[in-house]
Amino acid sequence: MKALVLFSGGVDSTTCLGIAVKKYGKENVIALSISYGQKHTKEIEAANAIAKYYEVEKMELDLSEMFKFSDCSLLKGSDKDIPKESYAKQLEKTNGAPVSTYVPFRNGLFIASAASVALSRKCSVIYYGAHSDDSAGNAYPDCSEVFNNAMNTAVYEGSGKQLKIEAPFVSLTKADVVKIGLELKVPYELTWSCYEGSEKPCGKCGTCIDRAKAFAANGVSDPALR
Ligand SMILES: [Zn+2]
């Protein structure tokens, strides 16, 4: 059996990769990194280093054309600033809508694209690292369990029951993800989460704050900051 991992080079997808490599063996795992027009290439560089560490095949796909109509603050075409506060703070101002770093239906497109690649490459499972902190308060609705179950049904039926989605963290928190990853000795020192593309993580954007909290909850400092 072969597995395709949707792989951004961040904490969650790298932990997914660690799980997949342990379960299927490195020769049966493909890491798929998708560009969506983000402002920087730090996560792609991190993804390359981690794929090399695990000695898995890496594939790349560019979907930036799909997102060029969006003014999401993560995207190159946007002049909006990336918010420098926690998701909880951001959600106080959105009236139930997703946060400004929500890329329109990104995970829907990512999973659909991954499904096509997975079938072409004879994989029978897609791993992706959505977790419950991301969908909390509707920040990123395309990380929710309901969304995942619907996509899983679509992928399973649309592939003639050849392919399914594994989202092992969908009901877990990011702190839980890090706990699992630390046990698996995931190389977190190689990962990149920050939405800004500076030399060092900014420490102030939503994802930096979430990441710091997840490591702190496990009583360790973030290996990428050491
Ligand atoms: Zn940051």
> What pLDDT does 71 receive?
86
* Total structural domains within the chain: 1
> What pLDDT does 201 receive?
93
CATH number, position 35: 3.40.50.620
- Average pLDDT on 84-88 reads 84
Q: Tell me the CA–centroid distance for residue 6 and ligand 1, in Å.
A: 21
Beta strands across the sheet bearing 3-6: 57-62, 29-35, 3-6, 125-127, 164-166
Q: Is residue 114 a contact partner of residue 80, using CB atoms and an 8 Å limit?
A: no
Q: Based on the number of CB atoms within 10 Å of its own CB, is 45 exposed (0-12), middle (13-18) or buried (19 or more)?
A: middle
Per-residue pLDDT band at 221 (split at 50, 70, 90) = very high
pLDDT at 97 over 90: no
- Pairing, β 125-127 against β 57-62: unpaired
Per-residue pLDDT band at 89 (split at 50, 70, 90) = confident
Q: Tell me the CA–centroid distance for residue 21 and ligand 1, in Å.
A: 28
pLDDT tens by residue, 167-186:
999 999 999 999 999 999 99
Q: Tell me the CA–centroid distance for residue 192 and ligand 1, in Å.
A: 9
Q: Tell me the CA–centroid distance for residue 92 and ligand 1, in Å.
A: 20
Q: Tell me the CA–centroid distance for residue 37 and ligand 1, in Å.
A: 17
Q: What is the mean pLDDT of the chain?
A: 93
How far does CA 5 lie from the centroid of its chain?
A: 10
pLDDT tens by residue, 126-157:
999 999 988 888 888 999 999 999 999 999 99
Q: Tell me the CA–centroid distance for residue 197 and ligand 1, in Å.
A: 8
- Average pLDDT on 82-102 reads 84
> What pLDDT does 128 receive?
95
Task: Calculate Rg over the CA atoms of the chain.
Answer: 16
Q: Tell me the CA–centroid distance for residue 52 and ligand 1, in Å.
A: 24
SS3 at position 11:
helix
pLDDT tens by residue, 9-21:
999 999 999 999 9
> What pLDDT does 90 receive?
81
pLDDT tens by residue, 44-79:
899 999 999 999 999 999 999 999 999 888 888 888
Residue range of the domain that includes 189: 3-225
